[in-house]
Chains A and B, each alone.
Chain A
Amino acid sequence: MNILLPPTSAASAFAGKVDALLWTMTAVTGFVAVSIITLMVLFSVRYRRAATVDRRIGPATIGVGNHWLEITWICVPLAIFVAFYVWGARLYFDYENPPLAPLEIDIVAKQWMWKLEQPNGRREINELHVPRGRPVKLVLSSQDVIHSFYVPAFRVKRDVVPGRFAILWFTPTVTGRYHLFCAEYCGTNHSEMGGDIVVMEPQAYSRWLEHGAVQPTLAQRGAALYRQLGCSGCHTPGSAIHAPDLDNLYGRTVPLSNGSFVKVDEQYVRDSIVQPSRDVAAGYRDEMPSFAGRVSEEDLLELVAYIKSMAPAQAPEGAGSP
């Protein structure tokens, strides 16, 4: 196997868990497959036309149908399948739910490159540096078609569908350089839309990060945009127009005018900018204009980062689950 298989190191906490599932499924299905093929070969040899064997099929023998046998080979696979299902679904739950207080990286995908931005504003193209041992949460958006952010060594991928944010998280466990692939076909140079994930020791990562911190952060640029686009004109306590105060709002659950509740996360803030009429906060009128078409994907990421920065972090830095 090692000669044939290219190196596929498992370099994230999730990867180890997925591999355990994959190996178990391989063992179980492999055992069943080998058993069935063995039986087929055995029957083919023993009951070949030339062989002299007892072929009588009486009612007492298993011949042309046996309900107990059939019930067995319905129930046993069913039990195995349910076990596979539950195992896979539990891991998927983790994949879908990022832990609190991860390191957040914002990413814009476009034909055919990945533009990435560290929390302190350091930007990268087709390369992502992350520290070992800390959950990393990616907020992805696409400027054009669907792409998919795929890191085989972490066993994770997520489609980046335009018009919404995609969230992907992982906790790197082994330092090194790993492939980043685009896994959703996105046009002519799809196979070149890749790069590297560099997992570093935390101290080395901090040094690397400081080295390039020359630009304003996402949130700082977002604050400038916030004034430029005139958001601050309404979303200020005491303004003439009755609009929600955005201070300390991010991460809370707010009531909507239709009676439901929504958690203020990246997606909700994004929707409120480009589709303000969709989910109007309770007690406010549907009067905000849509900014769709006036803000780019990168503008949106900056605005969201700014609004996020107006609320204190919900958990102390670095307290995410391993």
Chain B
Amino acid sequence: MTSLSAAEAASATAPAMPAPAAASSYLDEGFNLWSWLTTKDHKRIAILYAVSITAFFFLGGAAATLIRLELATPQGDIVSAETYNKIFTAHGVIMVWFFLIPSIPATLGNFLLPLMIGARDLAFPRLNLLSWYLYVAGALFTVGMLIAGGVDTGWTFYTPFSTMFSSTYVVYALAGVFVVGFSSILTGLNFIVTTHRLRTAGLTWFRLPLFVWAIYATSLILVLATPVLAMTLVLLALERLFGIGIFDPALGGDPLLFQHLFWFYSHPAVYIMVLPAMGVASEVITCFARKPVFGYRMMAYAIVAIASIGFLVWGHHMFVSGQSMYAGMTFSLLSYLVAIPSAIKVFNWTATLYKGSITFDAPMLYLLGFVGLFMVGGMTGLFLASLAADVHLTDTYFVVAHFHYIMVGGSVMAYLGGIHYWWPKVTGRLYPESWARFAAILIFAGFNMTFFPQYLLGVAGMPRRYHQYAPEFQLLNVLSSAGAAILALGYLLPLVYLSWSLMRGKRAPPNPWNAAGLEWQTASPPPPHNFDSPPAPPRKPYDYDPTRPEALPGSAAAAQT
């Protein structure tokens, strides 16, 4: 099928059926809870995910609020040390596994992948629903355990503390994460098969939107890395429950083995969080600059390079752990290599703005913010990849700041930008533009105020996971906590005005942004079967013309031929 040329494909779809006058949307398929809980429609499942991860996001955010409150003073005065340790563990576990990993792939990816490739649904709709149930069951169980008893190991579960010394609900919490892992694997599998098998006629790999490339690469990581996490958690549970010596030296095990296995999953997991964000950036920046993405092929190759090299850098978490010096030197070099494709992406997004016809609607503001924050996060990653610098900086607030710039400044900004960009398509409503722009700027400012001081704290030597700290660190901590208050307000705003727009927002046309991409060729919100007539694949991706910014992409080319 994919060998069909574009012309043939276009002629094949030319005598398409006229669209029915009043096509009902996927939202009208049923209004009771049961119709949602039994749906096999990828669009409805995406909504289920969106609602659940939003709940977990604000729960994890509540934990973050408590952390920042406690750290406003050097003494441990709001909560006890034990409670503090449980709070930061809950924050990490919830945000990493129940929010960030599923965030863009399971919501925007689920909704958009079939639409972007002109498919009716994912390859395995039933499996898709199962993935959501696994996710919700695992996540609710773990969160229940985190609240009922708590876990004080940190989200990294380092042994032998987690196996032999912690007296908290470690195995219970792991069990939920283990189950959620299967949700990740099945989602990844579903996306891979869908991308390979269900692209509409004529939609070849190099005509795909970069969002699809990003989701595809992410799915490969989900399928290849998550099983290692599952095995590691099982081994941890075996040692903790039955005293089988795997990681505890007192039983003949090796604690560093745990770190190797854990980071073999958890480093690629960072790319699970950030690759989809890069995909969103390429969609939004091209649309609001009205220009094809600069260096499309290089952008696609960079995604694949990041996903591949990302598997080979896990040892950079262990430069001071006692792994061999030569291992350290190898992992350092590979960590620098993985920064190259990330740098390409930043340069190419910047070049995309050149000679564009740029407007600054809320999605664009979010994504320009994403590029800036991702760049700062990536560049500070270079410090941590450097062996001697890492000896000083690892396990300090510098690391905390670095990964929040990538995962929160980067991924969450892109996620919110994507939510706004596709909001009309998903809900059939327009969001209030001024509020959305205000929130984007507020979040950007609040984010920098929260996390930039943490870089300085790390350079000054403040270790992470500290309930109390030396008094000279207070000024920067107060700044960070004040920023967190602004950030919290910024995150609440979209929740309010987006909910409002569900009821009161203006009706959205099928393509409010005049955007490229097949998802804009159907109604907003789309009908249950996605397309009334098979969409025509573009001649080339992102066929925008900055000299005719109001025109539909690709129409210039059509006019010339």
Interface residues of A (CB under 8 A from B): 4-8, 17-18, 21-22, 25, 29, 32-33, 36-37, 39-40, 43-44, 47-49, 53-57, 61-66, 69-70, 73-74, 77-78, 81-82, 84-85, 87-93, 95-96, 111, 144-146, 148, 150, 152-153, 155-159, 161-164, 166, 179, 181-192
Among all A-B residue pairs, the 6 with the closest Cβ atoms: A152-B461, A163-B249, A91-B388, A88-B386, A92-B387, A43-B353
| Cβ contacts under 8 Å, B297 to chain A | 65
Interface residues of B (CB under 8 A from A): 76, 81-82, 85, 152, 154, 158, 160-161, 165-166, 248-250, 254-256, 289, 291-298, 319-322, 325, 328-329, 332-333, 336-337, 339-340, 343-344, 346-348, 350-351, 353-360, 368, 371-372, 375-376, 379-380, 382-383, 385-392, 394-396, 453, 456, 459-461, 463-470, 472-473, 475-476, 546-547, 549
| Cβ contacts under 8 Å, B549 to chain A | 49
What separation, in Å, do the CA atoms of A111 and B167 have in the docked complex?
14
Q: Quick one: closest A residue to B349, CB to CB? A: A40
Q: Quick one: closest B residue to A164, CB to CB? A: B322
Q: Quick one: closest B residue to A148, CB to CB? A: B395
A43 touches B394 (CB 8 A): no
Q: How far is the CB of B310 from chain A (nearest CB, A)?
A: 16
What separation, in Å, do the CA atoms of A49 and B546 have in the docked complex?
9
A156 touches B472 (CB 8 A): no
A77 touches B357 (CB 8 A): no
What separation, in Å, do the CA atoms of A155 and B382 have in the docked complex?
17
Q: Quick one: closest A residue to B334, CB to CB? A: A85
Q: Quick one: closest B residue to A165, CB to CB? A: B322
A73 touches B347 (CB 8 A): yes
A-B CB contact pairs (8 Å), 8 listed:
A22-B459, A43-B350, A61-B355, A62-B351, A92-B329, A157-B394, A184-B395, A188-B152
What separation, in Å, do the CA atoms of A55 and B355 have in the docked complex?
5
| Cβ contacts under 8 Å, B463 to chain A | 150, 181-183, 191
Interface of A, helix, strand, loop or mixed by DSSP: mixed
B472 touches A7 (CB 8 A): yes
B391 touches A187 (CB 8 A): no
| Cβ contacts under 8 Å, A90 to chain B | 388
B152 touches A187 (CB 8 A): yes
> Residue A183 contacts which of B344, B368, B396, B469 (CB distance < 8 angstroms)?
B396
B395 touches A47 (CB 8 A): no
B388 touches A88 (CB 8 A): yes
Q: Quick one: closest A residue to B319, CB to CB? A: A92
Q: Knowing A25-B382, A43-B358, A181-B461 touch, does A187 contact B388 (C-beta < 8 A)?
A: no
What separation, in Å, do the CA atoms of A289 and B473 have in the docked complex?
51
A5 touches B294 (CB 8 A): no
What separation, in Å, do the CA atoms of A146 and B259 have in the docked complex?
12
| Cβ contacts under 8 Å, A146 to chain B | 158, 160-161, 255
When A and B form their complex, what is the total count of cross-chain residue pairs whose Cβ atoms lie within 8 Å? 266
Q: Knowing A44-B353, A91-B387 touch, does A157 contact B392 (C-beta < 8 A)?
A: yes
| Cβ contacts under 8 Å, B546 to chain A | 47, 55, 57
What separation, in Å, do the CA atoms of A145 and B255 have in the docked complex?
9
Q: How far is the CB of A203 from chain B (nearest CB, A)?
A: 29
Can you add 11 more A-B contacts, CB < 8 Å, to A4-B453, A159-B320? A5-B456, A21-B388, A39-B353, A43-B353, A49-B549, A55-B355, A66-B295, A81-B382, A159-B322, A162-B250, A187-B165
Q: Quick one: closest A residue to B353, CB to CB? A: A43
A92 touches B353 (CB 8 A): no
| Cβ contacts under 8 Å, B388 to chain A | 17-18, 21, 87-92, 95
Q: Knowing A33-B376, A49-B359, A161-B322 touch, does A92 contact B391 (C-beta < 8 A)?
A: yes
What separation, in Å, do the CA atoms of A8 and B456 have in the docked complex?
11
What separation, in Å, do the CA atoms of A157 and B376 have in the docked complex?
25
| Cβ contacts under 8 Å, B391 to chain A | 18, 92, 95, 155-157
Considering residues B255, B343, B461, which has the most beta carbons from chain A within 10 angstroms of its beta carbon? Answer: B461
What separation, in Å, do the CA atoms of A163 and B546 have in the docked complex?
64
What separation, in Å, do the CA atoms of A152 and B422 have in the docked complex?
47
Q: How far is the CB of A76 from chain B (nearest CB, A)?
A: 9
A87 touches B386 (CB 8 A): yes
Q: Knowing A190-B85, A191-B465 touch, does A40 contact B294 (C-beta < 8 A)?
A: no
B336 touches A85 (CB 8 A): yes
A57 touches B340 (CB 8 A): no
> Residue B375 contacts which of A33, A85, A89 (CB distance < 8 angstroms)?
A33
| Cβ contacts under 8 Å, A65 to chain B | 294-298
What separation, in Å, do the CA atoms of A43 and B318 have in the docked complex?
41
What separation, in Å, do the CA atoms of A89 and B328 have in the docked complex?
9
| Cβ contacts under 8 Å, B339 to chain A | 77, 81
| Cβ contacts under 8 Å, B294 to chain A | 63-65
> Residue B321 contacts which of A81, A92, A93, A161 (CB distance < 8 angstroms)?
A161
| Cβ contacts under 8 Å, B166 to chain A | 187
What separation, in Å, do the CA atoms of A18 and B165 have in the docked complex?
35
| Cβ contacts under 8 Å, B346 to chain A | 36
Considering residues A54, A65, A181, A192, which has the most beta carbons from chain B within 10 angstroms of its beta carbon? Answer: A65
A4 touches B465 (CB 8 A): no
| Cβ contacts under 8 Å, B295 to chain A | 64-66, 70
> Residue A156 contacts which of B81, B256, B392 (CB distance < 8 angstroms)?
B392
> Residue B389 contacts which of A8, A18, A61, A158 (CB distance < 8 angstroms)?
A18
Q: Quick one: closest B residue to A154, CB to CB? A: B392
What separation, in Å, do the CA atoms of A144 and B164 have in the docked complex?
9
What separation, in Å, do the CA atoms of A69 and B344 have in the docked complex?
11
> Residue A82 contacts which of B152, B336, B395 (CB distance < 8 angstroms)?
B336
B320 touches A157 (CB 8 A): yes
| Cβ contacts under 8 Å, A186 to chain B | 161
What separation, in Å, do the CA atoms of A36 and B373 have in the docked complex?
12
A6 touches B333 (CB 8 A): no
> Residue B357 contacts which of A18, A55, A61, A111 (CB distance < 8 angstroms)?
A55
B160 touches A6 (CB 8 A): no
Q: Knowing A70-B295, A77-B343, A111-B165 touch, does A163 contact B255 (C-beta < 8 A)?
A: yes
Q: How far is the CB of A267 from chain B (nearest CB, A)?
A: 10
B158 touches A158 (CB 8 A): no
| Cβ contacts under 8 Å, B289 to chain A | 47
Q: Knowing A33-B376, A163-B250 touch, does A190 contact B387 (C-beta < 8 A)?
A: no
A77 touches B340 (CB 8 A): yes
| Cβ contacts under 8 Å, B392 to chain A | 18, 22, 152, 155-157
Considering residues A53, A69, A161, A189, which has the most beta carbons from chain B within 10 angstroms of its beta carbon? Answer: A161
What separation, in Å, do the CA atoms of A144 and B319 have in the docked complex?
21
| Cβ contacts under 8 Å, B348 to chain A | 70
Q: Knowing A36-B375, A43-B358, A111-B165 touch, does A166 contact B353 (C-beta < 8 A)?
A: no
Considering residues A82, A144, A187, which has the most beta carbons from chain B within 10 angstroms of its beta carbon? Answer: A187
B466 touches A184 (CB 8 A): no
| Cβ contacts under 8 Å, A29 to chain B | 379-380, 382-383
| Cβ contacts under 8 Å, A150 to chain B | 395, 461, 463
Q: Quick one: closest B residue to A147, CB to CB? A: B161
